[in-house]
A and B are shown apart, each in its own frame.
Chain A
Amino acid sequence: MSEEYPTMEGPVCPLPHIESDRVVMGHGSGGRMMADLIRSVFRPPLSNPVLEAENDAGVVQPTPPESLAISTDAHVVSPLFFRGGDIGKLAVCGTVNDVAMVGADPKYLTASFILEEGLAISTLQKVVASMQSSAEEAGVQVVAGDTKVVSHGEADGLYISTTGIGIPLTKNEIGGDQAQPGDVVILSGTMGDHGIAVLEARGDLGFETNVESDIAPLNHLVSVMLEASPGIHVLRDPTRGGVATALNEIARQSNVGVLIRESTLPLQPAVQAACEMLGFDPLYIANEGKLLAVVKREDAEKVLMAMRSTRYGEEAAIIGEITHEPRGRLLMETPLGSKRVVDTLSGEMLPRIC
């Protein structure tokens, strides 16, 4: 692209809107305003040679691997900013983590933005800067992107959809169907921080906490774990639906039972307090920087130690084990020694009346 790009003058579809501080319909027109937006907002922070080539598709040259891990995720969150994160960080980490959960090293991301007319450009800049810092931490490049603008009222600020491509770090198969009776279940840290931080930012709690979202890229944690042991059978990030839903999925996919112990579950006191007051169960609250690992029993200590040596695994704990029965179900042993079923939620978690 020429550096002497013309300044915004004259009619640009649908309305002239020079140097607007808000997103307008013209920013999605495919015309000069859009090019200007890309040039001023998206390119500087996300810059890399693939993106700079400005082609319809980014061309990357990885070492030819035998297989690729690909994941895609749409990110919508209200509000866009909350304690500990924002939609940009979420859009990068969410997809990076999905790719990492099959034991792959995420390399490239694509990002597609749906912007609501009227969105402050400064807001968009903050979000893109946040994406960049997360991408840098994760070691991924954003190699392709797209922007569309919809009328005011047709979206909630902005939505970001990202796709990630990664290269498998191990030849061993890692997946939800690989859990075996006798394996140990490890959780990388405290439950429910993200969900409670977002609820608070929404003003839905009715009281204040100091809980920060746990959003983080987990690919480095995963590579440390894979170095420590080849005996990792399942990795899963317990996002929406929380730890309970993720473990139920693993139980179903692997056709095994999962038994966890309530007293071993890592939980911040503030999250526990918020859940008690609202009638929520932290087992079902979303996380964005945590992973569950199902690991061969003899390697469990080794993996746990490796996890605890990393920033995002300091509070990792063994929370349970894989059993033969009851197949497809998650059980929890209470501190009293009794056992109960922990089921998947059927829909939205609803605050109880009293």
Chain B
Amino acid sequence: MKYLTEYRDADLVKKTLKKIEKTISRPWTLMEICGGQTHAIVKHGLDQLLPDEVELVHGPGCPVCVTPLELIDKAMAIASQPDVIFTSYGDMLRVPGSNGDLFSIRARGGDVRVVYSPLDALKIAQDNPDKEVVFFAIGFETTAPANVMSVLQAQNLGLENYSILVSHVRVPPAIRAILSSPSNRVQGFLAAGHVNAVMGYWEYEPIAEEFQVPMAVTGFEPLDIAQGILTCVESLEKGEYVVENAYRRAVTKAGNQTAQKIIKQVFQECDRKWRGIGVIPGSGWCLRPAFQEFDAEKRFDVESIQSEESPVCISGLILQGLKKPHECPAFGTKCTPDHPLGATMVSDEGACAAYYHYRSHLTRQGIESS
């Protein structure tokens, strides 16, 4: 496990935490963008070890959580049709739609399969020429290269039975939306290292400058996260509103240009609705007109489906960093991983699920005593 153990080294992490403590002179509110980072922070208990002056708020970077309800309903409508094999990343299967989840479609006889990559879905399409194979193409910039690659390969192979249900989202417009909100409290960002590995961080510099907030490109192991926080706090203390790279082993400023090129070839920017937040202009990617034939929404005529969210769920406020999961009245009571009301309780990367799994005895006690 070289390349992992070093970044989980307790002594190195503690040294970095000490440095944060020495550097910090006043309270700062930081947001980690990515759900993978939220998961790691809570799993390793990093938040318990940080100095009180650092407040971490959890960002909207869980692709499962922000996928809008109507997309799930559309997925379910497609997956219910005969002669369809619906393929998806595993954790999308349990996200509640308006009426059940994709697991319930499978239980009713639908052919819903978990795949690890859209290229596996492509293989299924090749092996089942008499079926329509649909891949649920959700995610941030991280998953986009593989998704567009599947479309390009389907085109090369002349596969007519493959399509994708696209719900891609992009980080920079989300950061802009958070910073533009009148209730924003975030003073610095830990940028999502995996996203930056693909996209680089050239898009982030104008935002840092415009809104006067520093950002640190941050990885996912405890030491990476501690280093990201230290870098961000150092910038804040110095009053420097720059983007620093604290994840150099994976990220360059320019990013993976081959990946960016094929994304641009297949996708174009579009407005996208984020679950619990609403429409963020220019925050999505959808298929370019030249690739419309691979658009599952058009192929299955589900474009008109509209859906309403549970009125109790505050996942929108959580995704914007305005509330913590245990501040929700339904947390751990009406809303649990067994019966999630919103997507943030479903995925491991969702802030509510992370709190429930790793912190619930603390937060439940908190609720009981308050």
Contact = CB atoms under 8 A, between A and B. Distances in A.
B45 A343 contact: no
Contact of B114 (A276, A343, A351): A351
Interface stretch (A22-30, A164-172, A334-342): A334-342
12 contacts: A278-B116, A329-B361, A334-B43, A340-B359, A341-B360, A350-B91, A350-B114, A351-B116, A352-B349, A353-B63, A353-B90, A354-B63
Interface string A168-212: 000000000000000000000000000000000000101000000
Contact of A206 (B10, B92, B117, B349): B117
A336 B14 contact: yes
A10 interface: no
A351 B360 CA distance: 22
Interface string A264-285: 0000010011001011000000
A45 interface: no
A276 B3 CA distance: 12
A353 B89 contact: yes
Interface residues of A, number: 29
A329 B361 CA distance: 8
B4 A276 contact: yes
A326 interface: yes
Interface stretch (B138-146, B264-272, B279-287): B138-146
A342 B45 CA distance: 12
Interface string A257-269: 0000000000001
Contacts of A64: none
Interface string B96-139: 00000001000000000010110010000000000000000011
B139 A340 contact: no
Contact of A352 (B8, B43, B91, B360): B91
Contact of B357 (A331, A334, A335, A341): A341
A55 interface: no
B8 A353 contact: no
A337 B91 CA distance: 30
A63 interface: no
B94 A350 contact: yes
Interface residues of B, number: 47
Interface of B: 1, 4, 8, 10, 13-14, 36, 42-46, 48-49, 63-64, 89-94, 103, 114, 116-117, 120, 138-140, 142-143, 194, 222, 336-338, 347-349, 356-362
Contact of B348 (A326, A341, A352): A352
Given A206-B117, A353-B89, A354-B139, A343 B8 contact: no
B360 A354 contact: no
SS of B interface (majority): helix
B49 A337 contact: yes
Contacts of B49: 336-338
A113 B105 CA distance: 31
A346 to B, nearest CB: 4
User: 5 closest pairs, A vs B, by CB?
Assistant: A338-B45, A350-B90, A351-B90, A340-B358, A353-B89
Contact of B359 (A278, A336, A341, A346): A341
B189 to A, nearest CB: 19
A295 B103 CA distance: 41
B8 A354 contact: no
B89 A339 contact: no
A65 interface: no
B361 A351 contact: no
A326 B361 CA distance: 8
Given A336-B13, A337-B45, A354-B63, 18 more contacts: A326-B361, A334-B45, A336-B10, A339-B48, A340-B42, A340-B358, A341-B357, A342-B357, A350-B93, A350-B114, A351-B114, A352-B36, A352-B89, A352-B91, A352-B348, A353-B64, A353-B91, A354-B143
A62 interface: no
B90 A338 contact: no
Given A335-B8, A343-B357, A352-B91, A272 B1 contact: yes
A347 interface: yes
A135 B89 CA distance: 40
Interface in A194-237: 204, 206
B46 A343 contact: no
Most buried by B among A204, A326, A334, A342: A334
A347 B94 contact: yes
Most buried by A among B4, B140, B222, B361: B361
Contacts of B357: 341-343
A347 B338 CA distance: 8
B347 A338 contact: no
B44 A334 contact: yes
B44 A338 contact: yes
Nearest to A263: B10
B44 A336 contact: yes
Nearest to B34: A354
B56 to A, nearest CB: 14
Contacts of B4: 276
A339 B45 contact: yes
A352 B347 contact: yes
A279 B40 CA distance: 11
A331 to B, nearest CB: 8
Contact of A346 (B10, B194, B222, B338): B338
Nearest to B92: A353
Nearest to A329: B361
B334 to A, nearest CB: 15
Contacts of B140: 354
Contacts of B43: 334, 340
Contacts of B360: 341, 343
A353 B89 CA distance: 6
Most buried by B among A204, A326, A335, A342: A335
Contacts of A341: 357-362
A350 B117 CA distance: 14
Contacts of B120: 206
B269 to A, nearest CB: 21
A353 B222 contact: no
Most buried by B among A339, A341, A343: A341
